[in-house]
Structure 1
């Protein structure tokens, strides 16, 4: 396939998910490309014939894989299902992309790290996942990297929220209408990332992604927050008066351990592709 042409055919998996919806919205700003938004019913990435069929029919230059098993706590029991979608399916996708000379952009997560660092994680840091979700996502990254001739970008992100799907932002707005007081954890640090900003960054890297720039990248908005600070900002910008109490993680035991530090260092993606990482508060203001 000819990757030098400026017009690209981009197939997006998991099209009805949070990032899939954001990509659909942001694609309007990149009208040169042609887009195929493939929902689960249209493309089952756990089936090689289904992947092959989608490629034969649509002939994409690039596949952006947003499909994943993301139920972090459920994954602790549902191990096989998490690995089926986060590793096995990703391996199949990478294999077919390699065979058809298709560029693969795959979304990964801060959960590949142990969350104990005092500083934001760069791509140089050795992953050390502590959960089934994190381990299965890392296995997916490794599957992609095993294909030496594949052009790919693995983009790790964190604390993604949007107007679509299930996420912290939507939960807070819902709870804010039901209650006067909320307790939110204040000892986990990260950067809330607007799915639309991540989507825009993906479209910005596409023209410059090749064998020289392929690899692992981190993308999040900039600044820093805790879930407590994020919740307070959501209510402030929404003009909702809620009493938000700061509590420790111990107050909310979960099946999967949450990272204390999810902050990602995005220097590499900014320097390589010139993408923007707006302040997380600006993203929040925009969505509200």
Structure 2
């Protein structure tokens, strides 16, 4: 992978686990990048955004900055909107003035979860909570201000080595508890930050080359499962007994913000950019676990698993999204 533009990429939210993996991917590919954490670039402050663009003159911006505390957003919706809505608008305005693309990371939480088919990229949005509303405001700002050079990449159920995640929590609890009760009535696509970083790097290069149409893409893994099914597969791959994971329902763990029960995204748009979608979530998990310092003890099984069959199968230990 080679960069067609010698100017650096500007990566916001550089302290987060997705941005860390993306910066590593860019470094491996020989692409110069500026890692801008909140101290270096406050996306909610117009002066801070202008100063960063003047100092670094980026070729492209990848916005990984977000406020992802879903329940906290119910009590501080204005704070969530400042980071997730106003921040992308300021970045999009600066990108428009500079004539450069913006890749903005968003979330499955812009949907209400009432469907039972994978959401296509152009599906109607209807967020259930303040967090989803704030992320949708950011999406709309990017698409409005950058109709020809704005890229919204929705992801779901992120996990990685650089922060807290469902996978890390499960592995810790497996050592401490004889059994885990995990909800089986919320469906989604566990997505490794390493895979999403690879996808963002590829899309960014194509955006700079003018070969990827602007608009919405879905950056989540292939396949689908529930938090219960995901937890069982984590147990299996690290050599623990999956039967120690017991199913329960989300109504046992009422939280301030409602969560969508169906977060399965469709991936057809990648073909327009000349890219393949992200691989199956089980295959990715088998590579992610060693990268996170764990196993795997056994290889993944990508067909015939109970979690993939029938009508839809959330967890007491499920994490908030990371986008």
Q: Identify the TM-score tier after normalising by the shorter chain.
A: over 0.9
Structure 1 partner of 2:97: 99
8 A contact 1:101–1:150 mirrored in 2: no
2:275 maps to 1:274: yes
CA distance in 2, matches of 1:208, 1:24: 17
Cα deviation for residue 106 of structure 1 reads: 0.2
8 A contact 1:204–1:275 mirrored in 2: no
Answer with 56-65 or 240-249: which moved more. 240-249
Residue by residue over 1:84-134, the C-alpha shift from the partner in whole angstroms, topping out at 9 and shown as x without a partner, is: 101111111111111111210000000101101010000121101111000
CA distance in 1, matches of 2:124, 2:54: 37
Answer with 201-210 or 270-279: which moved more. 270-279
Cα deviation for residue 233 of structure 1 reads: 0.9
Structure 2 partner of 1:116: 114
Q: Secondary structure at the match of 2:260?
A: coil
Gaps of 5+ in 2: 290-323
8 A contact 2:158–2:165 mirrored in 1: yes
Quote the RMSD (CA, aligned, Å). 1.6
Structure 2 partner of 1:34: 32
Q: Secondary structure at the match of 1:73?
A: helix
Residue by residue over 1:130-181, the C-alpha shift from the partner in whole angstroms, topping out at 9 and shown as x without a partner, is: 1100011001111112215651100011111111211111111111121111
Counterpart mapping for 1:57-206 below 5 A: 57-148=55-146, 151-206=149-204
Q: Segments of 4+ in structure 1 off by > 3 A?
A: 4-8
CA distance in 1, matches of 2:54, 2:7: 16
Structure 1 partner of 2:255: 254
CA distance in 2, matches of 1:151, 1:206: 10
2:262 maps to 1:264: no
TM-score (norm 1): 0.94
Residue by residue over 1:52-101, the C-alpha shift from the partner in whole angstroms, topping out at 9 and shown as x without a partner, is: 11111111010100000111111111111100101111111111111111
CA distance in 2, matches of 1:218, 1:183: 30
